[in-house]
Structure 1
């Protein structure tokens, strides 16, 4: 449960980051070219939508939430510095790899997005450490928790796959021939695959594991025979025939008690406290003031 909550928190923070970047990039462009034709960001027939109207709408819809989350991230860093709290790179990497195995997006393969994910994971773990810094959890409690929930700390082997699905085996063989002649897998997926959801992402279906019920087990069995960058022979599926490409993989791993005992301490402490993991708790201590006025610490 905790890992799902962490995933949703991180996903929300990344969305906030994207909105923030879009807002300030657009605002910067406006400042550098006010009144120019490039201030029109879209046209419908002969009517245009001005950049400033777009920015106003962004601020009206998301401005308060974006600013609140930006403040939260600053508060986390300030409190971590004040209480000399750090999070190890090993903890961040472990959480990142676990989330990777369940996140379904082609964006995860981009280096800049990976860096953003890890930064949000670090902030989330720092917040948990700050919230639970005064909560004592015995070593026996932690060991009991570990022995009862060992599977929570296992990272399953996961395979990052792309697919092209066509109706007939003949179409699949034709596609294989074109791929062997240098055609782009992602372009072919967009143009030819009958699975519209993945076709829009160039065939990318993200990471899947053996217990993933969204795809046939044959996908994982086929992926195990491939090297990164290789594609398979046609695989019979419900929609027709699939060609599977292995983009990358995560090797499964089980962690020892010593490696995860601090994560267990945080989890038990948070459950004992029965409070939401929110940086708002420290706004008064961090002396936050903002555009929207006084904010309740539990808001």
Structure 2
């Protein structure tokens, strides 16, 4: 397994956790207080002669998702309070660097939510490894051995529409010029079943992408952000692509990623365990399910 493939696997594992945490981080910012006048016996659905009350609905939600939901909320609070206790912060520069790596390897992201997720993950790793010292020599050796992991190729966030004939592709361009939505046209007309339902979005692509025609990477650099291409021939017909964003390539120095390397080696020495629950005791956590 190559270094970049291994790195992709690691990021996939982190991303699974990030989606869960990100959901609760976003919910925390949008909590709506429940009025004291709300009645749990309120009927929220009727089926013939029977009804479902808000109380029944909430009880079912708690039964299915209550424990995990509460656990995630506790974890977020524990990490935030411990970070404040130990004066651990994450700079915008570090978050932007991590975000750039995610972007270069995965599809389009909700950047606001992902910044919160990345911050949470780094804070947790810093808390868990705060007392671990890794020799400078070991960290430098790791960097030299895995230097390719810290080189980001120039990448392009693209959407595409694939049709059978050049005439159909020309009509797509005319509709775009007339104000039609690229996403709607992809959903309606694109032959690529894997991307049509997402408005033709194929995410970020670079020279290492094995699933994209070379023509895409020849045409994308000539486009401005928000601009679509003229039709061009591909293996499955004719394509029109839209450039959403260009991500500039960059090589990160040892000093740039030194702390990330320290955390990674430290976590490996801890069997890679990145969990909040062992920290609950320090924060005197008690909860409903612990009764």
Q: What TM-score, normalized to structure 2?
A: 0.86
Q: How does 1:102-141 map to 2 (within 5 A)?
A: 102-105=105-108, 108=109, 113-141=110-138
Quick check: 1:167 aligned with 2:164?
A: yes
Q: 1:152 aligns with which of 144, 149, 153?
A: 149
Aligned-residue offset at 1:55:
4.0
Given candidates 184, 189, 205, the residue that maps to 1:187 is 184
**Alpha-carbon displacement from aligned partner over 1:247-270 (angstroms, at most 9, x marks no partner):** 111111111111111111111111
Deviation at 1:44, TM superposition (A): 8.7
Q: Is the 8 A contact 1:19 1:66 kept in 2?
A: no
Check the 8 A contact 1:165/1:193 in 2, yes or no: yes
Contact (CA 8 Å) 2:40, 2:54: kept in 1 or not? no
Alpha-carbon RMSD across the aligned residues, in angstroms, is 2.9
Partner secondary structure for residue 135 of structure 1: coil
d(CA) in 1 for partners of 2:239 and 2:50?
44
Is 1:6 aligned with 2:3? no
Question: Closer, same or farther in 2 for the Cα pair 1:135/1:213, shift >3 Å?
Answer: same
Please point out which of 61, 68, 80 is paired with 1:58.
61
Q: 1:46 to 1:183 in 2, by over 3 A?
A: farther
**Contact persistence 2:26–2:113 (CA under 8 A):** no
2:227 to 227, 230, 244: 230
Structure 1 residues 197 and 17, CA, compared in 2 at 3 Å: closer, same or farther? farther
- Residue 198 of structure 1 and its aligned partner are, at CA, apart by 2.0
Once residues 275 and 169 of structure 1 are traced to their aligned partners in structure 2, the CA distance between those partners, rounded to angstroms, is 52
| 1:62-121 CA distance string (max 9 Å, x none) | 22111111111111111111122222221111111111222324xx2xxxx322211111
Distance 1:49 1:187 in 2: 37
Q: CA deviation at 1:159?
A: 0.9
Secondary structure of residue in 1 paired with 2:283 = coil
**Which residue does the alignment assign to 2:75?**
72
Q: Name the stretch that deviates more: 79-88 or 240-249.
A: 79-88
Moved more, 121-130 or 218-227: 218-227
User: 1:98 — aligned with what?
Assistant: 101
- Using a 3 Å threshold, how does the CA distance of structure 1 residues 28 and 167 change in structure 2: closer, same or farther? farther
Moved more, 216-225 or 8-17: 8-17
Contact 2:129–2:266 (Cα < 8 Å) also in 1: yes
Counterpart CA distance in 1 for 2:36 and 2:159 is 39
Change (3 A) 1:208 1:256: same
The one-character-per-residue Cα deviations of 1:23-60 (angstroms, maximum 9, x if unpaired) are x66x95997587778x34xx999998766555444332
Q: Match of 2:156, SS?
A: strand
Other structure's SS at 2:281 match: coil
What is the deviation of 1:214? Answer: 2.7
Query: Would the alpha carbon gap of residues 69 and 33 (structure 1) be closer, same or farther in structure 2, given more than 3 Å must change?
Result: same
Q: Say whether residues 1:271 and 2:274 are aligned partners.
A: no
* Equivalent position of 1:244 in the other structure: 241
Change (3 A) 1:226 1:79: same
Superposed displacement of residue 194, structure 1: 2.1
CA contact under 8 A between 1:20 and 1:66: conserved in structure 2?
A: no
The number of equivalent residue pairs is 283
Change beyond 3 A, Cα 1:30–1:103? farther
Asked whether the equivalents of residues 22 and 116 of structure 2 are also in contact (C-alpha less than 8 Å), the reply is no
